[in-house]
Amino acid sequence: MSDAGNVENDGKSIKGIAVDPEVLSIIKNPDRPEAFPSIAKAPNNIPGVSGFIAGMKSLFAYKREGLQFFANQASIYGKVFRSQLGPYSIVGVTDHEVISQILKNGDRCWSTALAVERVTRGLSFDIDLKKKSRLMSLDFDAHRRMRNLVQPAFSDRALASYLTVIHHEFVHNIEAWPRDGAVSFRVEARKIFSQLAARLFFGIGDPKEAARLEGATRDYWGAIPVVLKNRHLSERWKRGVDGVATLSSIMYDLIPKRRDEGGVDLFSQLCKSRDDTGGLDDDQLVDLMLNIIFAAFDTTTMGITSMAYLLAKYPHWQEVLRAEAMRLPEQATLADFNGMERTTQVWKETLRMFPVSAITPRVSLGECQVGSYVAPPRTLVFNFTGLLGQDPDLWDHPQRFDPERFSSARAEHQRHRGQYLPFGHGVHTCVGAALANLEARVFWSIVLTRYRFSLAKDYDAVHCMSPLGSVSGEVALKVERL
Ligand code: HEM
């Protein structure tokens, strides 16, 4: 794939080859795409469906069947297929090798920014494009620089400093569960994790302010699937834009205090992050943090909710994990939690069976290889990372709950390149993965040393996308204090 240096003087070609004019402006400046071209129609030589009617049908089918809808298309047309989701003409990929090649992006052919901006564009505040700092809205060198500035806030050192806050928030909430009674787990997990986000991300302890933050983030997220991105035509979009304004104003108000006094929260860590060229100014901090809360919102909650269902369904595993949690020392450290091997196996199995982030989109900057096909510039590719966990070519009995497939003795997840990507792959791999893993381990160590639980009413859950993935149903639990 060509880069800025390959654009010839006439401004219309790369090494003499005529290039899509809409994309040229991006190729000239691959680090900071400032133009957002329209999406090209997926090429007809790729087997599949497209067009208005297919798009409408798929919207309903996707709502009803979730990822299974695309799994069915892959079984008909192959692991690289043409499809349509509402207005989006897409190329779907379920092949692990092709997905890992695209996400690795060794040929610099794919843009994350163009894909993410397609859906989030407009959900922003007025920031000079040159200062843009949302990780997912940057590619290449600009992304690398920002990622280096963000990384220290997710280092082991930072995670160890967050541990007390995480532990305290979970204990405080879980201790309030009834001794013998019902817990609506999905609702409860949402509450607990949103309070934790306020405290951990911003150092906000006031429940009212935490609720304002949560409501605004929920509105922001709620606007993502909106097609009519206009505040006069869509109430949901209006709420999303207002949510972003509320979040921004909360953050701008916090900055002076966090810069002066610091604190044990992610925002304070980012305030002091520096590289050779300096740190982040106020606008960049807000833009970056908007991306982090967007990316973090509900993800761990969804995974935890699916794991609650599986642990309720398989009480033997509750006992296994309880025994491991009981062995933790009183003042458990980051290393102690990271050493929770059995809990980690169940968490990994949960994210395989019920993937949270199941689609990783990319847009081609030029003519790009997708398996044995060539996609034209501006093709929107959906990498279905969430379907990899169900592929019988990659896993033994994928429908079976079998956490030991992740044991070092079996290591089923390491048989094929790119077969298990719950946190993505390549330079945009989830920056918060270690934090999410830590939260899961701490959370279950606290629940399982205090409670035994079962489903209040047994049911067989399926994977649902809304738009993040998790088990279906409310996961109503009957809990009993140990
Ligand atoms: C179970 C929980 C989580 C899952 C399954 C998950 C999944 C993912 C995936 C698949 C990506 C890659 C997206 C892509 O390549 O386009 C990603 C990126 C990202 N995640 Fe997570 N995530 C989780 C939790 C978190 C948390 C807790 C945070 C922050 C506190 C976070 C922050 C981010 C950010 C900022 C990115 C963008 C990284 C970049 O573009 O460089 N995530 N996440």
* The ligand 1 atom nearest the CA atom of 421: 10
Q: Is residue 30 pLDDT above 90, yes or no?
A: no
Q: Where are the alpha helices (DSSP H) in 262-314?
A: 266-271, 282-296, 299-313
Nearest CA to ligand 1 atom 18: 430
- Residue 232 Cα to ligand 1 midpoint, Å, equals 32
Query: Looking at ligand 1, which residue's alpha carbon is closest to its atom 15?
Result: 428
- H helices, E strands: number in the chain: 18, 16
Lowest-confidence region among 34-43, 271-280, 463-472: 34-43
Length of the chain: 482
Note the Cα 147 to chain centre separation in Å. 16
Indicate the top mutation candidate among 357, 421, 443, 465 to test ligand 1's pocket, ranked by most ligand atoms within 8 A of CB: 357
Sorting pLDDT into bands at 50, 70 and 90, what band is 17?
very low
Q: Which residues make Cβ contacts (< 8 Å) with residue 98, sequence separation at least 6? A: 79, 80, 370, 371
Higher pLDDT: 227 or 331? It is 331
Q: What distances in angstroms separate CA 445 from CA 115, 147, 166, 186, 319, one per listed residue?
A: 38, 31, 12, 18, 12
Separation of first and last alpha carbons in the chain:
60
CA of 296 to the centre of ligand 1 (A): 6
**Residues ≥6 apart with Cβ < 8 Å to 270:** 149, 150, 153, 280, 285, 288, 289
Domain spans of the chain, in order of start: 1-26
Question: 393 or 36, which is more confident?
Answer: 393
CA 431 to CA 147: how far, in whole Å?
8
11 has pLDDT over 80: no
Ligand 1 pocket: which of 291, 423, 463 to mutate (most atoms within 8 A of CB) = 423
Tell me how far the alpha carbon of residue 466 lies from the centroid of ligand 1, in angstroms: 17
Does the pLDDT value for residue 13 go beyond 90? no
- Ligand 1 centroid, distance to 17 Cα (angstroms): 37
Nearest CA to ligand 1 atom 7: 423
pLDDT digits (tens, 9 = 90+) for 295-324: 998 999 999 999 999 999 999 999 999 999
Phi-psi category of 155—alpha, beta or left, where left has phi over 0 and alpha has psi -120 to 50? beta
Report the distance separating Cα 336 and Cα 14, nearest Å.
54
Amino acid identity for residue 416 in this structure: H
- Per-residue DSSP letters for 331-385? T--HHHHHT-HHHHHHHHHHHHHS-SS--EEEEESSSEEETTEEEPTT-EEEE-H
**Span 212-247, pLDDT tens digits:** 999 999 999 888 888 788 889 899 999 999 999 999
Q: How confident is the model at residue 131 (pLDDT cuts 50, 70, 90)?
A: confident
Pair of tokens at residue 87: 């207005």
Question: Residues enclosing ligand 1, CB less than 6 A?
Answer: 112, 135-136, 147, 291-292, 295-296, 299-300, 303, 356-357, 360, 422-424, 428, 430-432, 435-436
- pLDDT of 2: 38
* CA within 13 Å, CB half, 466: 13
Is residue 430 a known part of a binding site?
yes
Read off the pLDDT band of 4 (50, 70, 90): very low
CA dihedral 153→155→159→161, nearest 10 degrees, is -70
CA 375 to chain CA centroid, nearest Å: 25
pLDDT of amino acid 455: 98
Residue to mutate, 99, 430, 444, ligand 1, most ligand atoms under 8 Å from C-beta:
430
Supply the pLDDT for residue 21.
52
pLDDT at 37: 66
